[in-house]
Amino acid sequence: MRIGFLFHKDPLSLAKSIDLIRLRALSEGLLRLGAAVSDVSIVAPVSRSDQFLGRVPVLPLAVLAERNRFDILKTCYHFSLELLGAYEGPLISRLVRVVDERAPERDAASRGRLLACQELARERAWGVVLNNHENVRRWRERYGATQRAVIIPTGCPAELPLLGPTPYPEGESPLLFLGSLASPRMLEMLNEAAVRLQDVATVHFVGRNKTALYGGRELSLSPLVVEHGETDEETAFTFARHARLGLALAAGPDIFDNDLSKILTYLRAGLPVLGEERLANAKLFTRVGFGTLFRYGDAADLARKARALLTTRFDECKAMLMGQMATRHSWDRRAAVLLRFCQSVAAR
């Protein structure tokens, strides 16, 4: 099977992010599946055809006009659909969240464009890839059951990257927020956490402040938050493995919009999680007690729960949970699900 990933940006020019990690992990995961996959490539707005992301070639958009180039093409995000051009072959589309005329509120500025992309998926896709059951329900309610649907959430590495030296000052209790600040309320909650916990912990932020994309202007972090910027996956895991507690904040009140990739990284690294209510994948840590939830929007409850977790030992379940993440939620497992879905859709 020849599978293409249609990505809406040049992946070779991007800063390190979960978008890039997912693209490389799934495409290389398909290659590792052997004879069932004869070719995997990434199609993106690039000018050259001699470049690679890891082991996977990155090809210009012009290849989409080549008849029978792919057995199936997978778009990676909403805006990837805008690049289809003359492509008429088998197509599956991944949608991080299914937007409507109201929700998520943070998508107000780009709502029309997102809805237009979803209409393209309804018209042209043979199948859709979604992150969770809530988004499958929303897709079915809005667009019917014409497309097959599969849930393929974020994964994590089966093998942990090499552990680097601690990035934190000696004697500090680091509380880590990893990933994007994808709504103004997330930044406000992070600032509140830094203020309320400054006597017992230091809040570290490894990622990108994206509030300008969702709130109209970029909001500022508190000087109490130590900002490290975006890093590669290996460095992110070093931050997580040396931290005391991982913080997972909701982008907004809608559960379908809160499937957080950082939770997978925290748990694979053996880091207990303090999560906000209304997270779609909170059961990954709450069902085994490897962390807890605080009330949505309640900074005082966040601080109370954080103080309790910072004095709790999790030795009994830590190794067990890390092993479960490696076996049940690895990128290779996700790639195997994707291949089976591609085969079933193409078989139509």
Tokens for 168, please give them. 């934190």
Please answer whether residues 233 and 157 qualify as being in contact, where contact means their C-beta atoms are separated by less than 8 angstroms: yes
Give the number of other CB atoms < 10 A from CB of residue 236. Answer: 24
Helices vs. strands in the chain: H and E counts, helices first: 11, 14
Q: What's the average model confidence in pLDDT over 32-45? A: 91
Q: How far is CA 223 from CA 21, 76, 169, 219, in A?
A: 29, 36, 17, 13
pLDDT (tens digit, 9 = 90+) per residue, 237-288?
999 999 999 999 999 999 999 999 999 999 999 999 999 999 999 999 999 9
Domain annotation for the chain: domains and CATH numbers = 2-155+330-346 (3.40.50.2000), 174-327 (3.40.50.2000)
Q: What is the 3-state secondary structure (H, E, C) of 210-278?
A: CHHHHHCCCCCCCCCCEECCCCCHHHHHHHHHHCCEEEECCCCCCHHHCCCHHHHHHHHCCCCEEEECC
State pTM to two decimals. Answer: 0.95
320 exposed, middle or buried (CB, 10 Å; 0-12, 13-18, 19+)?
exposed
Task: Let me know the angle formed at the C-alpha of 246 by 245 and 251, rounded to the nearest 5 degrees.
Answer: 145
The answer for residues whose C-beta is within 8 angstroms of residue 12's C-beta and 6 or more apart is: 46, 51, 53, 58
Residue 103 confidence (pLDDT) above 90: yes
What stretches of the chain adopt beta strand conformation (E)?
A: 2-6, 39-43, 51-53, 56-59, 72-75, 91-94, 127-130, 148-151, 174-178, 202-206, 226-227, 245-248, 273-276, 291-294
Q: What's the average model confidence in pLDDT over 130-158? A: 97
Q: How far is CA 137 from CA 69, 131, 145, 149, 206, in A?
A: 33, 11, 10, 10, 33
pLDDT (tens digit, 9 = 90+) per residue, 3-32?
999 999 999 987 678 899 999 999 999 999
The answer for residues whose C-beta is within 8 angstroms of residue 132's C-beta and 6 or more apart is: 151, 153, 256, 259, 280, 281
Task: Let me know the angle formed at the C-alpha of 36 by 30 and 37, rounded to the nearest 5 degrees.
Answer: 45
Q: How far is CA 180 from CA 80, 210, 235, 250, 262, in A?
A: 20, 6, 16, 11, 9
pLDDT (tens digit, 9 = 90+) per residue, 176-199?
999 999 999 999 999 999 999 999
- Give the phi and the psi of residue 265 in degrees, each rounded to 5: -65, -45
The percentage of the chain sitting over the pLDDT mark of 90, rounded to a whole number, equals 91
Q: What pLDDT does 15 receive?
A: 66
Q: What's the average model confidence in pLDDT over 140-146? A: 96
Phi-psi region of 132 (alpha: psi -120 to 50; beta: other; left: phi over 0): beta
Task: Let me know the angle formed at the C-alpha of 160 by 322 and 41, rounded to the nearest 5 degrees.
Answer: 115
Q: What pLDDT does 18 receive?
A: 87
Q: What pLDDT does 190 receive?
A: 98
Q: What pLDDT does 28 receive?
A: 96
Q: What's the average model confidence in pLDDT over 67-79? A: 96
Q: What's the average model confidence in pLDDT over 230-242? A: 95
Residue 150 confidence (pLDDT) above 90: yes
